[in-house]
Structures are given as structure tokens and as C-alpha cells.
Structure 1
Amino acid sequence: MRRRAFILAAPVVLAGCSILPDRPNVPVRRYALGPRRPSTLEAPRGAPVLLQRRMRAVPGLQDLGLRRARPDGAYEFLPYEEWIASPADLADAALRAWLQASGRFSAVVQAGTRADADLVLESQLTVLEAVPHAGEARAAIAAVLMREERLSSRIIGTLEATGSAPLAANASPPQQAQALEAALGRAFADLEARLPAGR
């Protein structure tokens, strides 16, 4: 008799326990980051080969979340709003395609290739943030351009490229992601303009 009472009472005890989370299941939205050059130009004969080393990122820009600056100067990452990969990896691939389309180089290759490169570009993503209270999204890249010589690389110049795009104060996360992509594209255009012409 006691055993039967225990069995009947068990569902009541289990009903009070739940393994389901208290918070609703909110799907994560993911965004691409791949600004494209408006037009593609053909490289002249004899144009140099550029080796683009993998882009790095400053601390705080390795996270997948969309980054937003607050009026007090602090930063926050938007919950459930992410890039499809790390911003630096996405920017690296997009920059390589952008510079190839610029017509300045006969080829833009990655590290590990057997191609003989004339120039080497090292870059770092330093800014990629939405600033709604300032009405803009911002992007910046620091880079070093070197010439490959027989036994070493000689620095030609250091480059600082920036870009911005308008952003409404009440912009939605998708609008912020779109503005960040536009700002990065303008930083690419600024970087391209700062590259020395010719070999």
C-alpha cells in the first residue's frame, strides 16, 4: 500500500521540477561582412603581385557580436546579433577581393602561396563599431606595406585608413550591420587610395 502511494505521488514531485530554461529561445541573427568595390579594373601588364598576410584584430574585435559604443564611452555587444565569422577573417577576405578588383596588382595572394610576391601587406582591424548617439558607424585599419627583397622585406610605408557611414540613433541591429559594412568599405577605399602607385 505504501509503495502504491509513493508511485502516485512521484508525478507530483516531478511536475515541480523543470529542465526547460526560464528565458525564451531567441534565435541568433548572423550577418555577412563583405564590402565590394563598386567597379573592377584590369591590372596593367607588369603590375606587381601583392602578398596579403592574414588580417589581425585589436582586443575586443575578435568577438562575433556586433559592437556598439555607448555615450559614456563604454562598449557593448548586441545579444543575439553576430557576424558569421570573426570580423577580421571576414574583412581579410573582403580586402583581398577589393584590392584584386582595384587593378593595381596582377594578383593578390595569401600567405603560403608559391607565387613570387613583389609587395607584402600586413594589416590590423582597429575599429569596427556602431555609434548610434553620434549618428555613424566607424571602421579603421592600420597597415604596413613592404617590398620583398632577396633576403629581407623593406618597409615602404605605414598606412592608417578610416571609413564611416551614417547611422540613425534608433537603427535596428540589421541596419547597424549594414552601416558597419558600408563603413568598412570606405576604409578599404581609403586604404587603396593611400597605396603607392606602380612597383
Structure 2
Amino acid sequence: MKRRALILSALALPACSVLPDRPYQQTQRFILAPERPAGRPPAKRGPVLLLRTMRAAPGLDQRGLRVLGARDDVTVDFWSEWTAPPADLVEEALRRWLLASGRFSAVTAPGSRLRADLVLEGELTRLQAEPVQGIARASLSALLLASGSVGDNRVLGQFLADGTAPLPGGPRADGRMPASDAAAAMSAALGDALARLEAALAGAIAKR
């Protein structure tokens, strides 16, 4: 009888939760797709460019927005993230950017049956907001090759494109800012890097 009473009393206790009493925080997701400045591009009569899969430097394979703190420590915001891994979004942005430039008759992806005249390999090396400095930064490294027979590609140039954009509100000593401001500035910084890379590619192609 005592055992039965203990069981009944235990069942009568109100259920308690082991989860912490915290308000629900919804994840914010942002698109990384800089807009190319308006302008009339030249006619698409250039070479066919094969853009290989974009690589990511260590730490840049995560979707969370990266913020550089006052002590040069990088934090990743897991509640604010890109819609896909950053390198994937940068690759698509670069493909659209170069195709819209009019400098190439086509910009293809690996697996295309179209014969490429040029091959571009790239790596995303930096994409972060720096609120203490009041800027966002984006950096790409790239290698341009003249496509020949297998294993016989000639290097036309190796480039490092650094882009920056101001953060809304200027420098912030506390290192804090709205995630939407950080994402917008990083997207603009990527646009600056893409423009610089395009100019470098145009110079290398003209000299070949």
C-alpha cells in the first residue's frame, strides 16, 4: 500500500521541464548576392570561361555571420546565417557577375560539354564584419589558366582581390551591430572584390 501511494503521489506531481526558460530565438537568414553596378556591358564575343568549384579557407565553411571583435577574435553568429555555405554563394555570385560583364561568351561550371578557352580557380579567403573599424571585408584568391590539353594549362595570372564596404552607423566601440547591417555590408564588400577581380582578369586576358 505504501508503494502504491508513493507511485500515485509521484504521478500527481506537476510536470517540470529540464529545458532552460529562454525565449524562442528565430534564426535570421541572409542572401549573399551583390548587385552589379548598372551600365552597358560590351558585346559577349569573348572566350568561354570555366569557373571551377569555389573553395573556402578554414573557418569559412560555416553559414553563420563572422564578426571580428575588438581583440581580433572572430565570433560566428549561429542565429544569423547565410542561406547556404558562403563559398557556394560566392561562386554563384561570381558566375553571374562575370557573365553580366559581357567579357565572356559563356561562363560554365564543371561538367559542361562546352569547350572552355580559360579556366578560373578561386578560393574565398575572408568574409567578415569589423564593427570596431566600421567596415566589412571580403577577399578572394584566384588563378587564371589558358585551357589546353590535359595537364597542359598555362598560367595567365594569379590574383588576390580585397573588397571593403562601410558598415551603417560607422565604427562601434562595443563591437555590436544588427545582423542585417553586417550582412548588407559584407554583400557590398563582396561586390567590391568581384569588381576588382574582374578588372584583373580583363588585364590578364588582354595580355595573353
TM-score between both structures, scaled by the size of structure 2: 0.87
Equivalent runs, 1:47-66 vs 2, <5 Å? 47-66=46-65
Aligned residues: CA RMSD: 1.9
Question: Is the contact between residue 124 and residue 142 of structure 1 (CA under 8 Å) also seen in structure 2?
Answer: yes
Amino acid at match of 2:155: I
Letter in 2 for 1:33: L
Letter in 2 for 1:177: A
Q: Is it true that 1:194 corresponds to 2:200 in the alignment?
A: yes
Aligned to 1:185: 191
1:31 aligned residue: 30
> Secondary structure, in 3 states, of the residue corresponding to 1:133?
coil
> In the alignment, is the contact (CA less than 8 A) between 1:39 and 1:101 conserved in 2?
no
Q: In 1, distance between residues paired with 2:147 and 2:45?
A: 16
The amino acid of 1:193's aligned partner reads A
- Please state if 1:103 is matched with 2:109: no
Amino acid across the alignment from 1:25? Y
Aligned residue pairs, count: 198
- 1:164-186 CA-to-partner distances (Å, cap 9, x unmatched) read 01013253111100000000000
TM-score by length of 1: 0.91
TM-superposed CA distance for 1:14, in Å, is: 5.4
- The residue correspondences of 1:42-191 to structure 2 (distance < 5 A) are 44=43, 46-151=45-150, 152-167=152-167, 168=170, 169=172, 170-191=176-197
User: Percent same amino acid among aligned pairs?
Assistant: 47
The structural deviation recorded for 1:70 is 1.1
C-alpha change, 1:93 and 1:40, in structure 2 (3 Å) is farther
Q: Which runs of 5+ in 1 are unaligned?
A: none
Q: Distance in 2 between matches of 1:112 and 1:159?
A: 25
Query: Is 2:11 the partner of 1:5?
Result: no
Q: Secondary structure at the match of 1:165?
A: strand
Q: Deviations over 1:114-139 (max 9, x none)?
A: 10000000000011010000010000
| Whole-angstrom distance in 2 between the partners of 1:68 and 1:178 | 13
